[in-house]
């Protein structure tokens, strides 16, 4: 395959369900001439409470499926997959693989009290990746890690504004409001879809950081260094694949993505070797 052929390949983006669409939205805005293939493995969602071996195997199945399509670069648009399976995914494919950023640098910069919160799945919190990164940036910063075991699953079921997601969000926000934490990183790509609910519940007390912007910056640097930018001047197209239910993905896509330039289909994942 020539370099120009590689440049014209799509960028692969994947998640455990619909959450990664929040990352895809930012990538579409930053790279309007690129094509994207998105895989959301909602048949296996949620993954954040599973053993690490299962999480790794699920992530690798998605990555190997994308690799066969093929794509020129992969973005793991899932914090849990990133902290648990990034190294293994990179070992199984021969294209650049970028994990979702932590958003910690932005959070520390924007905090007025040098205290930040992390809302994430149990697996991500247990990895303490956000805290480790924060300590490297500023060893005096206070980091509150808030596990949110039910939130991603609720969002995956379509609970975006109702009482179920509000009650869960209240429980997760309470410890951070008690500690006067003023900046919170949305450490799961599902969480930006309920950002308005979180903001309503916390008022002006908390600012929320979406790490997708830092991730997009890393994608740009990787594409620059590997000469992967698509030379086309046409607007790109996104194909969204889901392994189970395409309804929520189609609904969220219609709300958040360019409705003229994406399609939604079912897909069966490859079995890993």
Q: Catalytic residue positions?
A: 78, 188
Distance from the Cα of residue 86 to its chain's centroid: 13
- Residue 142 φ/ψ, nearest 5 degrees: -95, 125
* Crossing angle for the helix pair 79-92 and 52-68, to the nearest 10 degrees: 60
Task: Please give the sequence-ordered ranges of beta strands (E in DSSP) within 139-237, or none if there are none.
Answer: 142-147, 183-186, 207-209
What is the gyration radius of the CA atoms in the chain, in angstroms?
A: 18
Q: Dihedral through CA 96, CA 80, CA 84, CA 31, nearest 10?
A: 10
For residues 163 and 100, what is the distance between their CA atoms, to the nearest angstrom? Answer: 29
């Amino acid at each position: 395959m020539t370099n120009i052929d590689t440049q014209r390949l799509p960028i692969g983006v994947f998640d455990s369900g619909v959450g990664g669409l929040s990352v895809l939205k930012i990538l579409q805005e930053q790279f309007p001439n690129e094509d994207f293939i998105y895989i959301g493995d909602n048949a296996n969602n949620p993954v954040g409470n599973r053993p690490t071996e299962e999480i790794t195997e699920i992530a690798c199945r998605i990555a190997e499926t994308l690799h066969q399509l093929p794509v020129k670069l992969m973005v793991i648009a899932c914090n849990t997959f990133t902290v648990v399976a990034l190294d293994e995914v990179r070992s199984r494919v021969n294209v650049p693989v970028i994990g979702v950023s932590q958003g910690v640098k932005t959070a520390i910069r924007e905090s007025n009290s040098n205290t930040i919160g992390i809302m994430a799945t149990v697996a991500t919190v247990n990895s303490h990746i956000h805290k480790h990164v924060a300590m490297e940036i500023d060893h005096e910063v206070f980091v509150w890690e808030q596990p949110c075991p039910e939130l991603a699953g609720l969002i995956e079921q379509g609970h975006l504004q109702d009482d179920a997601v509000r009650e869960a969000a209240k429980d997760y926000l309470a410890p951070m409001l008690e500690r006067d934490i003023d900046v919170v990183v949305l450490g799961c790509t599902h969480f930006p879809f309920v950002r308005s609910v979180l903001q309503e519940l916390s008022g002006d007390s908390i600012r929320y950081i979406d790490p997708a912007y830092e991730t997009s910056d890393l994608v740009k640097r990787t594409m620059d260094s590997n000469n992967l930018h698509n030379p086309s001047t046409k607007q790109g197209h996104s194909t969204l694949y889901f392994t189970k239910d395409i309804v929520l993905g189609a609904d969220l896509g219609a709300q958040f993505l360019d409705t003229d330039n994406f399609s939604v289909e079912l897909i069966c994942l490859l079995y890993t070797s």
